[in-house]
Chain A
Amino acid sequence: MTELEVILQQLVTGLSNGMIIALIALGYTMVFGIVELINFAHGDLFMLGCFLALTLLGVSGLAAVEPGSTASLGALILMLTVVPLFCGALNWGVDRYAYRPLRNAPKLAPLVSALGVSFIFLNCGLFWGGLPLEVFGYGIAAASPKDFPALLPSENLLGASNIYITYREVLVFIVTIPLLALLSYIVKRTTLGKAMRAVAQNPTAARLMGIDVDRIIGLTFMIGGSLAGAASVVYALTYNTVFFQMGFRVGIDAFTAAVLGGIGNLLGACLGGIAIGIIRALSDQYIATQWTNSVVFSILILVLVFRPSGLLGARVRDKV
């Protein structure tokens, strides 16, 4: 492999991982934009999505299908419908029962509550992995990583080239790009999107204009959650392993991406996600894998300190 091919390969890997991070980052950035809350539970919601995807495969008996067959396509569609619905509903419920009662409390209160939700989700993931299903190894070691069946054929689409582009990368683009377009359409063109932007700008004024603020916030949580659900299916199919503590790591990457792009800014979250994906890939290649997490955190701290409004310079205002 030549030097150029190494870089190109890392860029491809980074770009496809970055697209997944972007989907999760959108959930952070939408919620922060509308209620100014760092939703610590978002990463663990994503983790629960991965477990649901694996459970669906196990229960429907589609876990052992031939990669690339019609049945595997069916499994893919099944997961991509059910998991986002589940994650969206769950995120809506979290907002309804953990955050909404604290909307007028001091700022620290919802943040601490979000930490609590994250811990409960973490524990649910542990229990989920202990269910006596074949795909979970009959729940013998609940905490250990579970293998996720490979539904996609791993042949190189570029033939004999040294650069690998497989169906996984293709799947990432096929899922993320339409979702991003749909989100952009909802936020920019629909009444719901208009209401969301109004609430983000000024909740009091929005309420005076007859917007049901709580409903809009709930819907925002739902949309953010379902994006995380879609991301979890794609992630599980790309990495083929699922374990209950995965949410923390992925969540931090996504949050870094949201901050890097300018929190509250949807386009920023996408670009930030791609940037983080590429940075991780390059750091794995040129620094060392065990330092990659520290590299991401250092970037997060440096961005927050020197350019807290992010690269795209989104609005940063303190609500008094």
Chain B
Amino acid sequence: MLLPRLLKPLHKRVGTLGLVLLAALLPPIAELLIPQVNFTGRLQPILIFAILGFGLNVVTGSCGLLNLGVAAFMAIGAYTYGILTVSVYPFQLGFWGGTLASLITGALAGFLLGLPTLRLRGDYLAIVTLGFGEIVQDVLRNLEGITKGSQGLNPLPHLSILGMELGSSHPKLSYLALLAFVAALALILKNLERSPVGRAWTAVRDDELAASCMGVPVVKTKLLAFAFGASLCSLAGALWASFLGSTGEPGNYDFQLSVVALCIVIVGGRGSIPGVILGAFIMVGFNSILLVELSELLGKSGFSGTQNVFASPSNWKFFVLGLALIVMMRVRPKGFLPQQTGRE
């Protein structure tokens, strides 16, 4: 009994530190091994989607509310960032101003949507958030005068530190900066987990009735989780827009994106922070690295003609996402890295 007690904290610390180091060294190592692929550019979306996963994880993992409108909050963040930083409009707050503002608008949007709807039953909430996602998309598409419709707002400033824009000129540095973002958020969330707020979230998830009997204000607790999660998703949206240098078109923030976020949380492990990071690696790695690389490879070998729908790997995307959800629910409903729930 003594040995594990001594080893566990040590192993835990080594594990976390090692993970961060490993992640920091990943792009150079990967590029050394496979020189023809630009990994730093491909790995940044993984980190941004990990933040999106954090946002959904607070709502779905910690507090047990199914949110199917994550993409809407991401869109709100991206367009807040876009409107406040693009040169067409008079605000031009720069990277940090836009990012901070997106945190606030995201929280506000989450609060306003949550206020009337969080009293609903779980599955109704899922539908309401799905509907919200579609409405936001429609609004962005229809208010073409402000959002520039399918062109998107661009060019937007890239990530910058102390006035130095990292963007495309220093891809490795901006990768490290994003990694620092993720690590800082992971630390905050880890500590939040053991705070009164985090415990209240878990209590509401595990048994709402029991939690309310113990004096936990259920609706307030849910509302806090919802607004906080929305704010993180919005942050992910702002970082995404700064990464692309554009908001992209409203159609990018669709239901499919929300399902990818859900897959990240479900595959990784609901409520588990390392799980979300792993989930982001698997899902985004699959979606924007594996499928893209496979398509290119097949294209080069001349195997895939445009004629055959089955031959294009990206056509299998929905199939794999759907299968992942079904199989995970049957085989490992708690995900690959389940949340540590203390003594059981």
Closest to A306 in B: B116
Within 8 A of A (CB), among B252-268: 255, 259, 262, 266
From B135, B324, B329, name the one whose CB has the most chain A CB atoms within 10 angstroms: B329
Bound-state CA distance A274–B258 (Å) is: 30
Is A294 positioned at the interface, with any CB of B under 8 Å from its CB? yes
Q: Is B309 a contact of A294 with CB atoms below 8 Å?
A: no
Interchain CB contact under 8 A, A291 and B138: yes
Number of chain B residues close to chain A: CB under 8 A: 46
B141 partner residues in chain A, CB cutoff 8 A: 290
B315–A304 CB distance below 8 A: no
Given known A112-B325, A252-B134, contact A301–B117 (CB-CB < 8 A): yes
**Interface check A98, CB cutoff 8 A:** yes
Asked if B344 lies at the interface with its beta carbon under 8 angstroms from chain A, I say no
Q: Is B24 an interface residue (CB 8 A)?
A: no
Given A130-B308, A301-B132: A116 and B322 within 8 A (CB)?
yes
Closest to B322 in A: A119
Contact call B122/A297, Cβ cutoff below 8 A: no
Interface membership of A159, Cβ < 8 A = no
Residue of A38, A116, A122, A123 with most partner-chain B CB within 10 A: A116
In the complex, the answer to whether B318 meets A36 with C-beta atoms within 8 Å is no
Q: Check if B123 sits within 8 Å of A36, measured CB to CB.
A: yes
Residues of chain B lying within 8 A (CB to CB) of residue A110:
329
Of all chain A residues, the one with the shortest Cβ separation from B129 is A301
Q: Is A119 within 8 A of B266, CB to CB?
A: no
A178 to B142, CA, bound (A): 41
B-chain residues with CB within 8 Å of residue A107 when the two chains form the complex: 122-123
Write out the residue numbers on chain A whose beta carbons fall within 8 Å of the beta carbon of B131: 252, 297-298, 300-301
Would you call A318 and B121 a contact (CB within 8 A)?
A: yes
Give Cα distance in the complex from A297 to B133, angstroms.
Answer: 10
- Measured in the bound complex, the distance between the Cα atoms of B321 and A294 in whole Å is 27
Cβ–Cβ contact B322 & A294, under 8 A: no
The answer on a CB contact under 8 Å between A130 and B310 is yes
| Interface of chain B: mostly helix, strand, loop or mixed | helix
- B5 at the binding interface (Cβ < 8 Å): no
B116 — which chain A residues lie within 8 A by C-beta? 305
Q: In residues 295-341 of chain B, which contact A (Cβ within 8 Å)? A: 306-310, 315-319, 321-326, 328-330, 333
Is B66 in contact with A108, judged by CB distance below 8 angstroms?
yes
Interface flag for B76 (CB, 8 Å): no
Complex CA gap A318/B310 in Å reads: 44
Chain A, interface size category, equals 35 or more
Are the CB atoms of B138 and A293 closer together than 8 Å? yes
Q: Are A123 and B322 in contact (CB under 8 A)?
A: yes
Interface centre among A101, A106, A112, A129 (most CB of B within 10 A): A112
Closest to B265 in A: A112
- B255 A308 Cβ-Cβ under 8 A: no
- Chain B CB within 8 A of A314 CB: no
Task: Specify the chain A residue showing the minimal Cβ separation from B306.
Answer: A140
A293 surroundings in chain B (CB, below 8 A)? 134-135, 138
Q: A113-B326, A139-B307, A294-B138 are in contact. Are A300 and B259 (CB under 8 A)?
A: no
What is the chain A residue whose CB lies nearest that of B142? A290
Asked, given contacts A290-B142, A298-B135, A300-B127, whether A305 binds B318 with beta carbons under 8 Å apart, the answer is: no
Neighbouring B residues of A305 by C-beta, 8 Å: 116-117, 120, 128
Q: B315 near A297 (CB under 8 angstroms)?
A: no
State the Cβ distance, A121 to closest chain B Cβ, in Å: 8
CB neighbours (8 Å) of B53 from chain A are none
B318 A300 Cβ-Cβ under 8 A: no
| CB of A158 to closest CB in B, whole Å | 35
Determine the residue in chain A with the shortest Cβ distance to B131. Answer: A297
CA separation between A130 and B308, bound complex, in Å?
7
Task: Pick the residue among B126, B127, B142, B333 that contacts A105 (CB under 8 A).
Answer: B333
Chain A residues 78 to 118 lying within 8 A of chain B, measured CB to CB, are: 98, 101-102, 105-113, 115-118
- Among A101, A111, A118, A304, the residue within 8 A (CB) of B117 is A304
Q: Which residue of A lies closest to B116 (CB)?
A: A305
Q: Is B64 an interface residue (CB 8 A)?
A: yes
Complex: A293 Cα to B134 Cα, angstroms? 8
Residue of B nearest to A102 (CB): B329
**A250 on interface, CB distance cutoff 8 Å:** no
The reply to whether the CB of A142 lies closer than 8 angstroms to some CB of chain B is yes
Given known A-B contacts A120-B318, A304-B120, A318-B121, A129 and B326 have beta carbons under 8 A apart = no
Contact of A304 with B66 in the complex, beta carbons under 8 Å: no
Residue of B nearest to A131 (CB): B309
Complex: chain A residue closest to B68, CB-CB: A115
B window 142-173: CB within 8 A of A: 142
In angstroms, Cα B123 to Cα A122, docked, is: 22
Please list the 10 inter-chain residue pairs (A to B) with the smallest Cβ-Cβ separation, ordered nearest first.
Answer: A130-B309, A119-B322, A116-B325, A116-B326, A120-B322, A297-B131, A123-B319, A123-B318, A142-B309, A116-B322
23 pairs across A/B with beta carbons < 8 Å?
A36-B123, A38-B127, A102-B330, A109-B329, A110-B329, A112-B266, A115-B262, A115-B322, A115-B325, A117-B326, A119-B318, A120-B322, A126-B318, A140-B307, A142-B315, A255-B127, A259-B127, A293-B138, A297-B131, A301-B131, A304-B124, A305-B116, A318-B121
Known contacts A107-B122, A116-B329, A297-B132; 11 additional CB pairs below 8 A are A111-B126, A112-B66, A113-B330, A115-B322, A116-B323, A117-B322, A120-B322, A126-B318, A248-B255, A252-B134, A305-B120
Interfacial residues, chain B to chain A (CB-CB below 8 A): 60, 64, 66, 116-117, 120-124, 126-128, 130-132, 134-135, 138-139, 141-142, 255, 259, 262, 266, 306-310, 315-319, 321-326, 328-330, 333
Mark A residues whose CB is within 8 Å of B: 36-38, 98, 101-102, 105-113, 115-124, 126-127, 129-130, 139-140, 142, 248, 252, 255, 259, 290-291, 293-294, 297-298, 300-301, 304-305, 308, 316, 318
